[in-house]
Amino acid sequence: MPEMYIAGRWTAGSASEHINIIDPATEEVLASVPRGTSADAQAAVAAAKDAFDDWRRTSANERADMLHEAANLMREHFDELATLLTREEGKPYSENEEEMEWTLNTFHYYAELGRHEIGSVIPPGDPAQFNFVIREPYGVAACIIPWNYPLLLLAWKVAPALAAGNTVVIKPSELTPLATLRLAELAFAHLPPGVVNVVTGFGPEVGEPLVRHPDVPVIAFTGSVATGQRIASIAAPMMKKLHLELGGKDPMVIAPDMEIETAVSALAYAALLNAGQVCTSTERVYVHQSQYAAFSEELASFVSSLRLGNGLDENVDIGPMIEDRFRDKVAGHIAEAVSRGARVLVGGGNATGFDRGYFFQPTVLIDANHSMKIMREETFGPAIPLMPYRDFDEAIRLCNDSALGLGATLMSHDARLVKRFFENVKAGTIWINDPLTDNYAGPFGGMKMTGGGRELGQAGFDEFTEIKHVHWDIEGGIKDYWFPY
């Protein structure tokens, strides 16, 4: 049975109970992990705090070498980790190959950025003065990771945090902790004890104690708006640094100049990757009324051809959802939309032909509108609602008619429309003709209720550093503007 990783040692901690980890494709128990407690969270924080001073004073070159080594070890165990991700999280193996590539290369990227970046020299106000800015690590960073990309979203937090000189306590989702624990065993064992710690358990029992802990100045979290609001309310009195990415309701606009075949293929990928369980999934689609009927028909045909099954099967396009309760939420959104006048062209319910597993039919709905939950609340599943628009101004207005602002996609070759789109749509990432593609150097994060944190790029590194301005008067003489006047 896997144990928690604290201070460089494997331990059951104070846990007296365990959590069964379920394969969502078979509903079989893969393993059990300790149900961590507040005491375990405190032990992990104490270990990370003890390790911090030495780690922050480790040279940037040494830290870079260790992060590169972590990435190299991930490469050596690539297939094992990708397979374990598939078994505990469900998405097809090919998608987990991509997750592994992103995970290990994120460590390579931040290894070099941490070697390069510490601050800047700024112009002084007087020739006798020297002014510079230093970026310093905060201390212990609590990294609370969701279940849909267990290693990728870990890397986006942990790699920059470590590169900047922080130590970390990782709380993986209680649904998908196995790949994280195995990663710690395979790729982090060479790091000094306490630099990386992993505590398994539920949010109220482990996550909340981490947020409340006075020795944790940084909270990095990806998850729901409600949980993010809870974290913010706890952290506010202690003035903690919050690094929050709280989900999305991403729109896609199909411009009238775009080829239907290309747009259909892009949309299916953007909406159904990981069975729609992606924070940047396209969850509402606006098609120009001149193309609406033809586009809907072509999309329904394309989606009908996609293959569901166990993600370990190489012939599968879409795997299961993570749990039955998430599948029920998708079904509820569809049912509510239908009750308000939407029509299902394809799918609409639990997939048949499977003895076990949380499979849901990829679904296409037409005649959706903003009175429906499926166009306003995060669905987080394989449902594609379509709505016609009359002109581009209306399309932009519909995109912005949401409390969330993570990403948005436009499918168009018209440069004038592209410019209007990226200038006027309120979202942290704008994709033109290539949805859901990230860039190691490009900041990722949202606006509005999605939260203001940024991952990747220089901005992702800066999230884990605080700025110190040094003003040095080298001459050091008495100033004529001092007392007495």
| Residues with a known catalytic role | 245, 279
Among all chains, which residue has been given the structure tokens 């990722």?
Answer: 444
Among all chains, which residue has been given the structure tokens 């509402």?
Answer: 284
Nearest to residue 329, comparing CAs of 247, 399, 410, 206? 247
Q: What is the DSSP letter of 205?
A: I
Among all chains, which residue has been given the structure tokens 């800015």?
Answer: 133
Cα angle 207-105-85, degrees, rounded to a multiple of 5: 55
Nearest to residue 267, comparing CAs of 367, 384, 161? 384
Distance CA 43, CA 49 (A): 10
Q: How many residues does the chain have?
A: 485
Does an H or E element contain 29, and which? strand 29-34
**Who's near 443: CB < 8 A, 6+ residues apart?**
428, 454, 455, 456, 457, 458, 459, 460
- The CA-atom distances, in angstroms, between 19 and each of 34, 155, 177, 383, 436 are 6, 24, 10, 30, 33
Nearest to residue 104, comparing CAs of 77, 131, 140, 138? 77
Sign of CA dihedral 281, 278, 241, 136: negative
